[in-house]
């Protein structure tokens, strides 16, 4: 049961296509409880406080109602929340900072749907549903794209005519909440000020790198969509535009979308495995090649981002692969020895947060992904500024 002093709590919601992650934070940003609904529209389950139940949720509205009911059962009723805060994947060119949600902001999030058709509709569904269920509860949003709003135009503009650019075709970058969390946490983990030139690796089923100079993003590997850049679990990463046009000619638009987003990456290279854990256990040549492809293109892009920062002072890994795949980290760090990087193998195998050897000119860190905490922190800052 929560402590009596915790009377103003923030409910954080992270809605996906068939899932909703949720967490409750106090005003000191301590997580009190959390969970996830998975399989919305099918064989759905809700997990909260290490308890899992099968409940048929037909849509996001019923799932959110189930979340609120389950929280109430654990003594977290709606009356205890001072705000709700949401992850929204795409804020477009206008929504470049955390905001309190108003009707106009909700319309603008909807306007960004063509830029993130697989994500924004589900984010907005959670926002609209909560507004129906708890109309007096203030809601806030943090955007995955906003961390990269500091990128210079030379980094975001594609070399295409202005008439196309006005339709929003530019590089946006993603995983911003993860990178923002990393920037916030690293000084506390290291006991030092944030390094001036930090190369951040968010490696998971989705993966991207970010060049962070003096705390701000100056370049990143994802572009117009989360498809670009690194080899990912099921996404192709970078691919020549004419190759995409050829795929469309041969297979049609919808089939090509499925190929590039859901059948490519590690899955396509290995012949059926998208999870790095399974690939590393599989002795086949295809799995070994998929891992090497992932590491090779991570290194290729790392070199580009080091150039964008004009040097390198620190590296930080986050995300499921970045935090847990020791072999992948080791392969990438060996490939960066030309930049003065030296890894301590014992620290890597012991899951230490600090990985550099004494001879390394570059500090190396592992930082846990805490996106929900960052969303809560963004909302709390807006509340306190009112």
pLDDT in tens, 21-35: 999 999 999 999 999
**Between vectors from CA 358 to CA 297 and to CA 230, what angle results, nearest 5°?**
10
Q: DSSP letters along 181-210, please? A: HHHHHHHHHHSSPPPSEEEEEEESSSEEEE
Same domain, 109 and 16: yes
Q: Answer whether residue 139 is part of any domain.
A: yes
Using DSSP, state whether 322 is helix, strand or coil: helix
Which of 50-54, 121-125, 163-167, 186-190 has the highest average model confidence (pLDDT)? 186-190
Name the domain boundary from 143, 161, 186.
143
| 278 within 8 A of 233, measured Cβ to Cβ | no
- Window from 2-6, 77-81, 105-109, 198-202 with minimum mean pLDDT: 2-6
Note if 144 is an active site residue.
yes
Structure tokens given for 33: 């409880």
Handedness of CA 106, 110, 116, 117 (dihedral sign): positive
Query: Could you tell me the pLDDT band of residue 76, with boundaries at 50, 70 and 90?
Result: very high
pTM listed for this prediction: 0.92
For residues 210 and 330, state if they share a domain: yes
Asked if the model's pLDDT at residue 5 lies above 60, the reply is no
The answer to whether the CB of 125 falls within 8 A of the CB of 13 is no
The answer on 133 and 183 residing in a single domain is: no
What tens digit of pLDDT does each residue of 138-172 get?
A: 999 999 999 999 999 999 999 999 887 778 899 99
Please give the helix or strand (H or E) that residue 176 lies within, else none: helix 176-190
Per the structure, the complete domain to which residue 280 belongs is given by: 176-371
CA atoms of 211 and 225, how far apart (whole Å): 18
Q: In the structure encoding, which two tokens stand for residue 227, read together?
A: 């498809």
pLDDT of res. 6: 56
Q: What is the mean pLDDT of residues 98-112?
A: 96
Q: Are residues 245 and 297 in the same domain?
A: yes
49: CATH? 3.30.420.40
Strand partners, 31: 25
The answer on 235 and 105 residing in a single domain is: no
Does residue 62 lie within any of the structural domains?
yes
Q: Are residues 75 and 181 in the same domain?
A: no
pLDDT of residue 16: 84
132 and 43 share one domain: yes
Q: Of the residues 50, 59, 144, 240, which is catalytic? A: 144
Q: Give yes or no: residues 137 and 185 share one domain.
A: no
Q: Could you tell me which residue, 250 or 50, shows the higher pLDDT?
A: 250
**What is the rounded average pLDDT for all residues in the chain?**
95
Total tally of structural domains belonging to the chain: 2
In a domain, 122, yes or no: yes
User: Has residue 4 been placed in a domain?
Assistant: no
Q: What is the pLDDT averaged over residues 205-229?
A: 97
Domain boundary among 120, 143, 166: 143
Structure-token pair, residue 89: 């994947």
Average pLDDT over residues 83-88: 98
134 and 181: one domain?
Answer: no
């Amino acid at each position: 049961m929560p402590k009596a002093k915790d009377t103003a709590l923030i409910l954080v919601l992270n809605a996906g296509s068939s899932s909703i992650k949720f967490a409750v934070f106090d005003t000191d940003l301590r997580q009190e409880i959390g969970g996830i609904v998975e399989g919305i529209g099918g064989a759905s389950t809700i997990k909260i406080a290490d308890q899992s139940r099968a409940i048929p949720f037909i849509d996001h509205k019923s799932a959110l109602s189930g979340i609120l009911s389950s929280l109430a059962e654990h003594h977290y009723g709606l009356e205890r929340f001072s705000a709700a805060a949401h992850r929204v994947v795409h804020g477009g060119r206008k929504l470049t900072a955390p905001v309190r949600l108003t009707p106009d902001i909700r319309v603008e999030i909807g306007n960004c749907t063509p830029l993130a058709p697989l994500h924004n509709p589900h984010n907005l569904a959670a926002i609209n549903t909560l507004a129906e269920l708890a109309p007096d509860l203030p809601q806030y949003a943090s955007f995955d794209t906003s961390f990269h709003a500091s990128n210079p135009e030379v980094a975001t503009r594609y070399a295409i005519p202005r008439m196309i650019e006005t339709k929003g075709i530019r590089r946006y970058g993603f995983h911003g909440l993860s990178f923002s969390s990393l920037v916030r946490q690293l000084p506390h983990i290291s006991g030092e000020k944030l390094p001036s030139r930090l190369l951040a690796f968010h490696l998971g089923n989705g993966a991207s790198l970010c060049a962070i100079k003096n705390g701000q993003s100056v370049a990143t590997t994802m572009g117009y969509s989360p498809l670009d850049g690194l080899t990912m679990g099921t996404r192709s990463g970078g691919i020549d535009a004419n190759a995409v046009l050829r795929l469309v000619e041969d297979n049609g638009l919808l089939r090509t979308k499925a190929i590039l987003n859901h059948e490519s990456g590690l899955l396509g290279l290995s012949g059926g495995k998208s999870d790095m854990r399974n690939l590393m256990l599989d002795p086949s040549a295809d799995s070994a090649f998929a891992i090497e492809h992932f590491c090779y293109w991570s290194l290729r892009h790392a070199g580009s981002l080091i150039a964008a920062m004009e040097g390198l002072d620190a590296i930080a890994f986050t995300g499921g692969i970045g935090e847990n795949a020791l072999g992948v980290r080791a392969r990438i760090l060996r490939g960066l020895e030309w930049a003065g990087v030296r890894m301590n193998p014992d620290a890597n195998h012991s899951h230490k947060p600090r990985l550099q050897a004494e001879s390394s000119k570059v500090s190396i860190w592992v930082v846990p992904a805490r996106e929900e905490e960052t969303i809560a922190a963004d909302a709390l800052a807006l509340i306190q500024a009112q």
